[in-house]
């Protein structure tokens, strides 16, 4: 590294994913310090957070969930004129809202499942669907509030549980197939990661409890199928206007058809998270990955005026 930077790593925040964000942030801060940068850690749990003087760039990579992924932090930093990593405020807002993401995917021809929106536990079972279904809050991450409906009798309780976390819930068929994710880095897909929980679904517990899930990267697909999955991931990321980096969750049906589930603009950044796993399979180590996220943000820094221009 040739330039030592003053970097603010934002981690924590007020959302349901606070604990995961703190863990991600600890790893990112440690990696960037090891590279020689001066690191300040800011927890935007309340709105009165401030940045240290002479901040060169803010690393938002560890700030998962509400505030970090919904565009609020990005909007605040844009108003301050401060560089930050990752997607801008508008694309973050779109991706965090699963309903808006689904609409963008459908508008741009990205393969995704049909869906419905519910706003009350008293709404009737949607007649065009058959169990099993998935019900999830429209604006949460890390499988927070995720519910499965295997029969019509389970419908009211599942909707009520999902609506504890948001005023709207998204309903779609439960895709039967292989669960995968595609990291996007600087516009290009990383190797596909396949996720296989040892029991149940890839819910919050299976995601964050060591030993409960097996991961395979690169996933065991042939070259043509891998390309289809990666194209679906890149297509979804472009559909929401993503930049720099992200991760797209994709189910692969038994017939090989990829189905996009959602877009994550601030994917997990612990050293064992899915996004770093994909980067590692591409030969990009964790410290190198953290540095690359900073470098991508710095590309947006306006060039300094030349001495001649300043003197003119």
Catalytic residues: 17, 142, 208, 247, 249, 262, 264, 268
First to last CA, the chain: 34
**Mutual orientation of helices 98-107 and 89-96 as an angle, nearest 10°?**
100
Q: For residue 137, give the 3-state DSSP assignment.
A: strand
Q: For residue 56, give the 3-state DSSP assignment.
A: coil
Order the strands of the 133-137 sheet from edge to edge. 115-118, 169-173, 133-137, 147-149
Cis peptide before 63 (omega within 30 of 0): no
Q: What is the largest CA-CA distance in the chain?
A: 76
Cβ atoms within 10 Å of 238's Cβ, excluding its own: 17
Say how many CA atoms lie within 13 Å of 50 toward its Cβ. 3
Q: Report yes or no: 202 and 193 within 8 Å, Cβ to Cβ.
A: no
Structure tokens at 272: 């064992």
């Amino acid at each position: 590294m040739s330039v030592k930077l003053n970097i603010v790593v934002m981690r924590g925040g007020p959302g349901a994913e606070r604990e995961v964000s703190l863990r991600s942030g600890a790893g990112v801060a440690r990696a960037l310090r090891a590279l020689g940068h001066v690191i300040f850690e800011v927890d935007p749990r309340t709105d009165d957070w401030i940045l240290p003087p002479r901040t060169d760039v803010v690393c938002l990579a560890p700030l998962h969930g509400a505030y970090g992924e919904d565009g609020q932090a990005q909007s605040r930093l844009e108003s301050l004129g401060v560089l930050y990593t990752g997607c801008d405020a508008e694309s973050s807002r779109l991706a965090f809202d699963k309903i808006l993401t689904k609409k963008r995917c459908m508008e741009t021809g990205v393969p995704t499942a049909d869906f419905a929106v519910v706003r009350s536990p008293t709404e009737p079972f949607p007649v065009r669907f058959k169990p099993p279904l998935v019900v999830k809050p429209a604006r949460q991450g890390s499988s927070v509030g995720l519910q499965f409906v295997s029969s019509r009798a389970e419908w009211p309780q599942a909707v009520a549980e999902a609506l504890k976390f948001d005023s709207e819930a998204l309903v779609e068929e439960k895709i039967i197939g292989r669960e995968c994710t595609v990291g996007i880095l600087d516009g290009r897909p990383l190797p596909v990661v396949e996720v296989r929980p040892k029991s149940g679904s890839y819910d919050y517990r299976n995601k964050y409890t060591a030993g409960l899930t097996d991961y395979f990267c690169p996933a065991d697909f042939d070259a043509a199928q891998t390309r289809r999955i990666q194209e679906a991931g890149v297509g979804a990321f472009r559909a929401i206007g993503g930049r720099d980096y992200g991760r797209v969750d994709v189910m692969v049906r038994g017939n090989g058809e990829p189905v996009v589930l959602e877009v994550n603009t601030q994917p997990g950044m612990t050293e064992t998270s899915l996004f770093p796993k994909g980067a590692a399979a591409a030969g990009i180590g964790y410290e190198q990955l953290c540095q690359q996220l900073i470098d991508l943000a710095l590309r947006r820094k306006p060039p300094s005026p030349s001495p001649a221009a300043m003197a003119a």
